[in-house]
């Protein structure tokens, strides 16, 4: 899976958002607000990680077991898929 072209992470003060640029801005209206956990996942996705890589990133960053991390990753990916921001 990978982030579709035209979506970038921007940090504005203490907030972190994903914004569409270029052609993506024509079809996607708005921004996606990310919390700290989602930011870790987004940055890991930018590096080309698969689901296991995302789970590894969460377990390395936070004190969380793999099952909990997996559920969090799946929810995050589902939201990005619904927003049509990632492709498999």
Global pTM? Answer: 0.93
| Average pLDDT value over all residues in the chain | 96
Domains of the chain, start order? 2-87 (1.10.10)
For residue 7, CA distances in Å to 39, 45, 56, 62 come to 13, 12, 23, 26
Residue 88 has pLDDT above 90, yes or no: no
Q: CA quadruple 56, 34, 76, 43: dihedral positive or negative? A: negative
Segment 12-22 shows an average pLDDT of 95
Please give the helix or strand (H or E) that residue 33 lies within, else none: strand 32-34
Tell me the pLDDT tens digit for each residue of 43-83: 999 999 999 999 999 999 999 999 999 999 999 999 999 99
Residue 20 has pLDDT above 90, yes or no: yes
Contact 38, 53 (CB under 8 A): no
């Amino acid at each position: 899976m990978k982030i579709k072209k035209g979506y970038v992470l921007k940090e504005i003060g203490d907030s972190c958002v994903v914004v569409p640029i270029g052609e993506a801005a024509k079809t996607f209206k708005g921004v996606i607000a990310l919390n700290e956990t989602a930011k870790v996942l987004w940055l890991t996705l930018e590096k080309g990680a698969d689901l296991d890589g995302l789970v590894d990133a969460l377990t390395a960053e936070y004190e969380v077991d793999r099952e909990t991390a997996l559920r969090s990753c799946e929810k995050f990916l589902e939201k990005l898929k619904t927003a049509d921001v990632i492709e498999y």
